């Protein structure tokens, strides 16, 4: 089972994502990024984090340790923002923490230009994302980190943030395990990912026994009251059955077609040009504020 810790200090909220996780220090002297049960994404996001993250770890991919965090809102009495306080008070009890990686950097398109990823490693990440229907790891929002090893070894790629995966658990009866999804814009698609080799290596390892082991890590409270199921174990069995069926059907959903980074850049430029061409004449003079950093914009159009 996941280790359990108790929060002793709430450090700061992280506002980059809609779930507003927080950096928290715990009684094991560790620092964690905590996602809260009362966030806008709800408990299913935490369930997805556990399932995909623990699958990644068991398949040999780098993923920060997950812990169950007992959280008392009184440790965050100093937090000045009322909306954050409301979230924390509504999340009293057990929440999900991910080991904080000090010094880690987001895997941005700029970093991707100079960072090497082995085709098999890229293929394994994409295979896991395709298996768990995690379409939220794109060139624009990678949910990947580069963590330096301070001269011991080259910086390495780490997976984070899987709350948007397992889209089928929002409508159990509306998604087929054989369904293919579009991964052409995957963050690692430009590294010639060998997804066929990844499938040959990983699919035999994702057994029903392994899936049951992973699902056992999810707290009962996060699986309770699921419509159409009587008990948390019934929900666990549904996840195991769906993912096992999806593994068996990997030939129908395995992504193999990935444009190069140059092709993606050209496609983005083409879409931007079409969008700009469709503007009314008075708006065509306004620069695309999303195309360049603010410091590089030509503000003369606005300032006269």
pLDDT in tens, 107-148: 998 998 889 999 999 999 999 999 999 999 998 899 999 998
Q: Which of 99, 120, 153 is the last residue of a domain?
A: 99
Q: What is the three-class DSSP state of 248?
A: helix
In this structure, are 115 and 245 located in the same domain?
Answer: yes
Q: Indicate the number of domains in the chain.
A: 2
Does 154 reside within a domain? yes
Q: Which of 253, 268, 296 is the last residue of a domain?
A: 253
In this structure, are 71 and 125 located in the same domain?
Answer: no
What is the per-residue pLDDT for 275? Answer: 73
In this structure, are 145 and 112 located in the same domain?
Answer: yes
Q: What is the three-class DSSP state of 14?
A: coil
In this structure, are 235 and 181 located in the same domain?
Answer: yes
Q: Which of 213, 231, 253 is the last residue of a domain?
A: 253
pLDDT < 70 stretches in the chain: 17, 149-153, 261, 278-304
In this structure, are 148 and 22 located in the same domain?
Answer: no
Does 88 reside within a domain? yes
Does 304 reside within a domain? no
| Burial degree of 146 (CB within 10 A; 0-12, 13-18, 19+) | buried
Does 260 reside within a domain? no
DSSP string, 195-241: HHHHHHHHGGG--HHHHHHHHTTS-GGGTTT-TT-SSHHHHHHHHHH
What is the per-residue pLDDT for 282? Answer: 57
What is the per-residue pLDDT for 266? Answer: 79
In this structure, are 58 and 129 located in the same domain?
Answer: no
Boundaries of domain holding 157: 105-253
Does 151 reside within a domain? yes
Does 299 reside within a domain? no
């Amino acid at each position: 089972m996941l280790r359990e810790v108790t929060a002793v200090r709430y450090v700061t909220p992280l506002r980059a994502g809609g779930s507003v996780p927080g950096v928290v220090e715990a009684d094991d002297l560790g620092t964690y990024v905590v996602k809260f049960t009362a966030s806008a994404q709800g408990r299913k996001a935490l369930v997805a984090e556990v399932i995909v993250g623990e699958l990644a770890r068991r398949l040999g991919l780098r993923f920060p340790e997950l812990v169950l965090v007992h959280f008392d809102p009184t440790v965050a009495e100093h937090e000045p923002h009322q909306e954050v306080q409301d979230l924390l008070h509504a999340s009293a009890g057990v929440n999900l923490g991910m080991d904080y990686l000090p010094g880690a950097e987001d895997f941005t398109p700029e970093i991707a230009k100079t960072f090497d990823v082995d085709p098999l490693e890229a293929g394994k990440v994409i295979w896991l994302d395709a298996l768990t229907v995690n379409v939220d790891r794109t060139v624009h929002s990678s949910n990947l980190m580069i963590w330096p090893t301070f001269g011991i070894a080259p910086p390495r790629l780490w997976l984070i943030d899987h709350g948007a995966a397992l889209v089928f658990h929002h409508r159990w009866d509306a998604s087929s395990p054989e369904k293919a999804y579009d991964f052409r814009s995957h963050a690692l698609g430009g590294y010639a990912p060998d997804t066929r080799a990844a499938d040959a290596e990983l699919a035999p390892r994702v057994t029903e026994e392994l899936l049951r082991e992973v699902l056992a890590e999810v707290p009962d409270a996060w699986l309770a009251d699921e419509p159409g199921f009587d008990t948390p174990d019934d929900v666990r069995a549904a996840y195991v059955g769906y993912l096992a069926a999806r593994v068996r059907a990997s030939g129908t959903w395995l992504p193999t077609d990935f444009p190069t980074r140059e092709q993606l850049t050209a496609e983005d430029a083409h879409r931007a040009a079409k969008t700009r061409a469709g503007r009314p004449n008075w708006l065509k003079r306004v620069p695309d504020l999303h195309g360049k950093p603010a410091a590089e914009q030509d503000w003369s159009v606005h300032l006269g």
